[in-house]
Amino acid sequence: MAVFGLRVTVLIALLVCGTVPADDAMAPPSKLSALLGSQADPEFARALQPRKFSFPEDHGPHPEFRNEWWYVTGNLDDDDGRRFGFELTVFRFSLAPTAPDSESAWRSNQVYLAHLAVTDADGEDFYVAQRFSRGALGLAGADSSPFRVWIGDWEFSAQQGSDAWQLRADDSAVGIEFELAPLKQPVLNGIDGLSQKSAAPGNASYYYSITRLQTTGTLRIGEQTFEVSGLSWLDREWSTSALAADQVGWDWFALQLDDGSELMFYGLRSADGDRDANSAGTFTGPSGAATHLHAKDVEVDVLEHWESPAGGIYPAKWLLRVPSLELALTVVPVLNDQELFTTVRYWEGAVDVRGTRHQLPIRGRGYVELTGYARESAPGDSQ
């Protein structure tokens, strides 16, 4: 999801510095707007116009842009029908447009961080882990050929010549080791992959997704290991700047429907609570044909709310309607509490989908990301 990229700056700011000073934490909008106001070095490349994508090369890094991420979410079941959700994301961030010249292998302008989240729907548990590293010395990095993105021993990788990806991430409480086989070609979001996020030229990202990846592998929770399978979703995005000053958060939906289609939509929220005109989405048909959706094409009604124990009220049930597609979907989190207390606090969770398409019942699963609803970080939480 495009807007997420800007958040990386916040992450960088916070991950080393611990807690956000209390007064700042009380006012996330000003925090975001401050970041948006901070001018990126003009030497960074910008997403100004559509570009030609080529794969697998574009799976690799684009260090001339300030932010980039590899973002995989998925819904899985084990053989006994036990339900799981997962998120594995690697963010890349350039601190400066060019790599500094030094004999020290540590001198680098690249910083990587990663989040791993696992939802155990039946166990009603939610696990989060994170990693940080500079992109130097082989500690973390991204290569396009063969494809590999890694931070410590967490990695996305692919064999040369194969379009299947291996995902591996392990922490003390949870671990995953999956193989992902794309069932569809990459879909270019926005206008031919150029995703405008706010009015100013260059406030845009290059954004593609692989909306359906067959996923198999093992998932570990504590000492227990589960053989799981299901569907994953890949979001790839890189940019230098995107959001405008009055954009305070976003709601992102990535829904996989059982008729073989997928719906992605992000709603940008303004400070005044309205939906931003730059909100957009993509509908991908079973054959892989993509339809760009404008803000006005999608209606979102919040049906229920959930109050985080740490404060903040999140929407917790939605009705999404895309009249032009005759699509109406009720989206329900599999667990209310899928909130990540990483350096930036946000909600990212597996959801169930029920609804109608052309008046016929339809079901599905997906992932939703919600930001800007709570203070960036709970008081005293230095994670």
Partner 1 sequence: MLPATYRASLFYLLRHPWQLLLAILGISVGVAVIVAVDIANSSARKAFLLSMDTLTGQATHQVIGGPRGVSEDVYRQLRVDQGIEAVAPIVETTASIGEARFTVLGIDVFAERTFREFSTEARTADTEDKDPGALITRLLTTPGGVLLSQSTAEELGLAAGEYFDVIVDGQFHEAKLLATFGNDDGAGRLLLTDIATAQEWSGSYGVLTRIDVRISDDAGVTLADVEDALPAGTRLLSAAGRTRSTLEMSTAFMTNLAAMSLLALLVGLFLIFNSVNFSVLQRRNLIGVLRALGLTRRQLLLIILAEAGFLGLVAAALGVVLGLVLGEQLVGLVARTIDDLYFRLRVTSIDINTLTLLKGMLAGVGAAMIAAALPAWEATTYEPRLAMARSTLEHKANRMLPVLSFAGVGLMTGAVGLIACTNTSLVAGLVAVFLAILGFALCVPLFVRFAARIAAPAAAAAGGTTARMAIAGIASGLSRTGIAIVALTIAVSATIGVSIMVDSFRGSVSTWLQQSLQADIYVGTQKSVMAPELVSTISALDGVIDGSTRRLTSVESEDRRTQLRVFELPTASYAGFELLDNSPEQVWPAWEKTDAVLVTEPYAYRFDVRAGDRIPLPTDHGVQQFLVAATFQSYDVDADSVVMHRTTYLRHYDDDSIDGLGLYLADGVSADEVVAKIESLGANWPGLYAASNAQLRSESLQVFDRTFVITDILYWLTLGVAFIGILSAMLALQLERARESATLRALGMTPAQVGGVITVQTGAVGVLSGVAAVPLGIVMAWILIKVINRRAFGWQIDMSINPGILLTTVAFAVAAALLAGLYPAYRAGRVQPAVAMREE
Is residue 21 involved in binding partner 1 (CB under 8 A)? yes
Using rule CB under 8 A, residue 27 touches partner 1: no
Residue 142 CB, nearest distance to partner 1 (Å)? 14
The minimum distance between CB 245 and partner 1, in angstroms, equals: 17
Nearest to 135 by CA among 116, 148, 123, 119: 148
Distance, in Å, from the CA atom of 231 to the CA atom of 215, rounded to the nearest integer, reads 5
Smallest distance, partner 1 to C-beta of residue 204, A: 23
* Residue 149 binding partner 1, by CB under 8 A: no
Cα distance between residue 188 and residue 180, in whole Å = 19
* Rg of the chain taking only CA atoms, in angstroms: 19
Residue 8 is inside which H or E element, if any? helix 4-17
Q: Please check whether residue 318 is in contact with residue 300, taking contact to mean a CB–CB distance below 8 angstroms.
A: yes
Do 230 and 74 touch, CB atoms closer than 8 A? Answer: yes
| The one segment of 13-21, 55-63, 267-275, 324-332 that binds partner 1 by CB under 8 A | 13-21
Distance separating the N- and C-terminal Cα atoms of the chain? 23
- The smaller minimum CB distance to partner 1, of residues 168 and 317, is found at 168
Nearer to partner 1, 111 or 374 (CB): 111
What is the total count of residues that contact partner 1 (CB under 8 A)? 38
- Is residue 225 near partner 1 by the rule CB under 8 A? no
Which one of 149-157, 226-234, 299-307, 324-332 is the stretch in contact with partner 1 (CB under 8 A)? 149-157
For partner 1, the binding residue among 150, 206, 238, 367 (CB under 8 A) is: 150
Residue 55's CB: how many other CB atoms inside 10 A? Answer: 16
Q: Which span sits near partner 1 by CB under 8 A: 12-20, 209-217, 231-239, 351-359?
A: 12-20
Tell me if 215 sits within 8 A of 179, measured CB to CB.
Answer: yes
- Mask of contacts with partner 1, 43-82, x by CB under 8 A? ----------------------------------------
Binding of partner 1 at residue 128 (CB under 8 A)? no
Q: Shortest Cβ distance from residue 172 to partner 1 (Å)?
A: 4
Does residue 382 belong to the site contacting partner 1 (CB under 8 A)? Answer: yes
Minimum separation from the CB atom of position 216 to partner 1 (A): 22
- Residue number, 150 or 318, with CB nearest to partner 1: 150
Query: Does 18 help bind partner 1 (rule: CB under 8 A)?
Result: yes
DSSP string computed for 315-378: EEEEEEEEGGGTEEEEEEES-S--EEESSSEEEEEEEEEEEEETTEEEEEEEEEEE-SSS-SS-
Q: At what angle do helices 4-17 and 28-37 cross, to 10 degrees?
A: 110
Q: How far apart are CA 288 and CA 211, in angstroms?
A: 9
Binding mask 91-110 for partner 1 (x = CB under 8 A): ----xx---x-xxxxxxxx-
Residue 264, token pair as written in the block: 């992605």
Site residues for partner 1 per CB under 8 A: 9-10, 12-19, 21, 34, 95-96, 100, 102-109, 111, 131-134, 137-139, 150, 152-153, 170-172, 382
